[in-house]
Amino acid sequence: MHQQTKKPSMSWLLRYLLPVKGRLLILLLLLLASTATQLVNPQIVQRFIDTAADNGIISSLFVLACFYLVLAVFNQILTVAISYLGNDVSWRATNQLRGDLLKHCLRLDMRFHNLKTPGEMIERIDGDVTNMSNFFAMFIIKVIGSFVLLAGILSFMFTINWPIATVMTLFTLASIGAMVFIRDLGVKSSKDERGASAALFGFIEERIAGIEDVQANGNVPYVMNRFHRAMRTVFVKGRKAWMLRVIPWNTTVVLFAIAVTVVLLLGVHYYLANQITLGTLFLIYQYTQMLNDPIEQLGDQVQEFQKAKSGMMRSQELLANRSEIIEGSESMLPEGALGLEFDHVHFSYNPDKPVLQDITFTICPGERLGIIGRTGSGKSSLSRVLLRLYNINSGVIRVGGTDIQELKLEALYRRVGMVTQDVQLFDGSLRDNLTLFDGNISDAYILETTDRLGLKQWIDSLPEGLDTHLKAGGASLSAGEAQLFALTRVFLTEPSLVILDEPSSRLDAATEPCYNRP
């Protein structure tokens, strides 16, 4: 397994939005409509105040009040629709990214997976992408909407009073400039925070998976000590990341305080000089307050951007990993039983510790070969290199006369079946677990195969037969039943070559002979 370095690019992430471009267009139209209603409402209030101050007729005030209420309700409906559609867009886009990350990880070789815990990989595939999902939802709604609203407010203010509009424009430019300048300030710390969180999840998953050993050996105090230390690391790194992420927001707060003071002083001055009406003074005040909302939202989104960019960098790093297992182009093997040949095979997990040294043997089609040896002598390694979970250092392995490195992995796995010591069960029916969710395998064939392997009587004893629900992890079966289960699963695929890695280690003496017969 090796890694290709690639400079992080937002275009890499934005391409996941292409499949939802239609929803994005609708979202943009809704944003424009919402911005228009936000800009119009203060103008209605201005007219209401000026009409009341000039002793206008009651019917005009009533019409303005009704119009204001209608627009307010309409804007709330738009807000709900925008929020729903924005989250829909973000989840559709990032779910595709989750799928790509999972598919990529499943194709990486075992050297990569031996270095990663399942808990850590869950955090990498889901936790990091969730940060990007939140960013997409809020980015579309708030960032684009904020810029449209800012442009509308400033454009209208220049038609009312250009000195005040100039102050507001300078404040806006200074705020946006500050946020752009320091937008990456907390990215590295946010990335470290995500790494600490992934390590914590990996630690929790590892200890829960080994709960029997933890309890039996009295290691609970040690585990809790490690847990608290991991939690402290998450807290320290998270605190540092948060403090760096809030700097843009604090900067805009200071700038806004200065801008509001200047704008209000100018507004009161023009009102006292009878250059603007009371309603216009209110409009200036209202637009000044409205100006703060998009600026604050932009500041919030800078924080989200930093978290999202850290997640993006970690996701790109994961996608940059390349498997050392390179598929061949050959997709066909001879029909019928397959022979196997190891030709001067050398293999090691670590360069300084060889496991297989100059292994040579041949098995003709239909023959059986039993291999015995001490624990750690390399028996399981033979099956791992045969199925290309690892690459051999030198030599050749042939299946049906074809070098396995010239075969497509699908062609190899379709014709070679393997029963391991550890059996993985999934949350689903007994049928789905036996067929691995392949609906093309009939119940009749399942029952015929289980009958030949001696498992049919056990299936018949279950209240719901093949529809019996099994829990993930194997809690529904005993160790021996799980071993029989694995044998059945492999033989349902009708393999041409079967590898049995101690398949009867958990079977009792009465059952084991059934699996040693030809």
**What CATH number is given to the structural domain containing 279?**
1.20.1560.10
Helical spans, DSSP H, in 321-396: 379-386
For residues 399 and 340, the answer to whether their CB atoms sit within 8 Å is yes
Are 391 and 424 found together in one domain?
no
Residues 404, 424, single domain; the answer is: no
Taking alpha carbons only, the member of 213, 226, 225, 295 closest to residue 257 is 295
Count of CB atoms situated within 10 Å of the CB of 18: 10
Tell me, rounded to whole angstroms, the distance of Cα 461 from its chain centroid.
41
Give me the pLDDT at residue 314, please: 79
Q: Are 324 and 306 in contact (CB under 8 A)?
A: no
Domain that holds residue 463: 420-518
- Residues 6 or more apart in contact with residue 30 via CB below 8 angstroms: 78, 81, 82, 85
Task: Report d(CA 244, CA 439) in Å as an integer.
Answer: 53
What pLDDT was estimated at residue 344?
A: 92
Same domain as 238, residue 166: yes
Q: Is the pLDDT of residue 213 over 80?
A: no
CA 332 remoteness from chain centre: 36
Beta bridge partners of 428: 470
Nearest alpha carbon to residue 163 among 276, 277, 279: 276
What are the tens digits of pLDDT across the range 416-470? Answer: 888 877 777 777 788 887 887 787 888 888 888 888 877 777 777 777 888 888 7
Q: What is the pLDDT of residue 512?
A: 47
Q: What is the pTM of this model?
A: 0.62
Q: Output the domain CATH number for residue 501.
A: 3.40.50.300
Residues 212 and 128 in one domain: yes
Domains of the chain: total = 3
- The pLDDT value recorded for residue 477 is 67
Kindly state whether residue 413 falls inside one of the protein's structural domains: no
Per-residue confidence band for 397, with pLDDT thresholds at 50, 70 and 90:
very high
Q: How many CB atoms lie within 10 A of CB 514?
A: 15
Q: In this structure, are residues 492 and 434 in contact, taking their beta carbons and an 8 Å threshold?
A: yes
Distances (CA, A) of 509 to 204, 287, 465, 486, 506: 38, 85, 26, 18, 10
Sheet holding 402-403, edge to edge: 353-363, 340-350, 394-399, 402-403
Q: Which of 294, 322, 350 is the last residue of a domain?
A: 322
Same domain for 292 and 362, yes or no, is no
Q: Do 145 and 236 belong together in one domain?
A: yes
The residue type at 377: S
